[in-house]
Amino acid sequence: MPRFYCPGELAADDVGNEYALPDPVAHHALRVLRLTVGDRIALFTGEGGEFAATLVRADKRDAFARIDAFDAVERENPFRVTLVQGIAANDAMDHAVRRSVELGVAAIQPVLTTRSARVPDGERGEKRLAHWRQIVVAACEQCGRNRVPEVRAVVTLERWLASRDPAMAGLVMSPTAEVSIAALPRPRDAIDVLVGSEGGFAPDEIAQAQNNGMTAIRLGPRVLRAETAALASLAAINAAWGDFR
């Protein structure tokens, strides 16, 4: 069943009512997916739960759906994982963002590191951030999540570490670390996962993260690409403590 994100416009008491799909959703439903009257769809607002609906009217531009039912289903991880990703080149960064949503991250924090790709200033930088946020929405539509992870504004690694609570659980990926996820206790309710860009972290950045209470861990004996390291770490966390169990 096709799923569409409709932020902030539906509530449980709308069941039985007719709802005008937002223009981008109507375009995608009618022009891209070629849906027709009578087709069933699912809608979600990002606030939790989803609505079963049926297309009841459509013309060249507009589409209307009947809201048939509300299901308060949740598909989130049992604790909050924030992926703190050193900015990688375009395709690698897009891949890390998209797949991390499928793996259940609650938030994504892009950071500038010594060896990371740069983000343009001004309008071009805002477009890059908007692009990542749209990838997150599309990934939620695909994977069944009903809460949309936040993609935070880009900051330097130094600034992010300075603002971070050292008491919170945190992991920093390092191929030279001696500790694996299997050796660590389960986090209480939240964890930060810091992953480098294509060039990895500079040695002083690993030290700064450790001084802020983060644990350096390795993901096996091989050196992983940036986007692979992000996904491998999240999958390992889900297998050890999360909803893969």
Q: 25 and 141: one domain?
A: no
Both tokens of residue 238?
């889900």
CA 118-123-127 angle, to 5 degrees, is 75
Window from 85-89, 118-122, 165-169 with minimum mean pLDDT: 118-122
Query: Looking at the structure, do residues 64 and 8 belong to the same domain, yes or no?
Result: yes
Cα separation, 230 vs 173, whole angstroms: 9
Confidence tier at 218 by pLDDT (50, 70, 90)? very high
CATH code at position 198: 3.40.1280.10
pLDDT at residue 108, rounded to an integer = 98
Model confidence at 121, pLDDT cuts 50, 70, 90, reads: confident
Q: What is the pLDDT of residue 146?
A: 96
Encoded tokens for 185:
């206790």
- The radius of gyration of the chain from alpha carbons, rounded to an integer in Å, stands at 20
Give me the half-sphere count of Cα atoms (radius 13 Å) on the Cβ side of residue 63. 26
Domain at 61, CATH number: 2.40.240.20
The fraction of the chain above a pLDDT of 90, given in percent, is 79
Is 148's pLDDT higher than 90? yes
In a domain, 60, yes or no: yes
Neighbours of 63 (CB within 10 A): 24
Provide the pLDDT for residue 87: 94
Mean pLDDT of the chain, nearest integer: 93
3-class DSSP state of 59: coil
Q: Are residue 207 and residue 144 in the same domain, yes or no?
A: yes
Residue 60: which pLDDT band, with cuts at 50, 70 and 90?
Answer: confident
What range defines the domain where residue 147 resides?
A: 80-240
pTM of the complete model: 0.93
Res. 9: pLDDT tops 80: no
- In this structure, the answer to whether residues 219 and 149 fall within a common structural domain is yes
Query: For 33-37, which contacts have Cβ atoms below 8 Å and span 24 or more sequence positions?
Result: 33/2, 35/2, 35/63
Q: Does 149 or 221 have the greater pLDDT score? A: 149
Same domain for 210 and 135 = yes
Residues in the chain, how many? 245
- Residue 180 and residue 224 share a domain: yes
Q: Tell me which of 120 and 81 has the higher pLDDT.
A: 81
d(CA 198, CA 136): 21
Distance CA 48, CA 214 (A): 31
Are 107 and 83 in contact, with CB atoms under 8 Å apart? Answer: yes
* End-to-end Cα, the chain, rounded Å: 27
Mean pLDDT, residues 204-219: 95
pLDDT at residue 8, rounded to an integer: 79
Contact 189, 79 (CB under 8 A): yes
Tell me: do 48 and 169 sit in the same domain. Answer: no
Lookup: tokens for 208:
């700064």
Spell out a b/e string for 140-179, using b for 16 or more CB atoms within 10 Å of the CB, else e: bbeeebbbbbebbebbebeebbeebeeebbbbbbbbebee
pLDDT for res 118: 86
pLDDT tens string 72-119? 999 999 889 999 999 998 799 999 999 999 999 999 999 999 988 888
**What pLDDT shows up at residue 126?**
94
Q: Are residues 126 and 181 in the same domain?
A: yes
| The total number of structural domains that make up the chain | 2
Say if 209 falls within a structural domain.
yes
> Does residue 245 lie within any of the structural domains?
no
User: What burial class does residue 242 get, using C-beta atoms within 10 Å of its C-beta: 0-12 exposed, 13-18 middle, 19+ buried?
Assistant: buried
Residue 65 has what pLDDT? 96
Beta strands at 169-173 and 190-195: parallel, antiparallel or unpaired: parallel
Helix-helix angle 90-102:122-143, to 10 degrees: 40
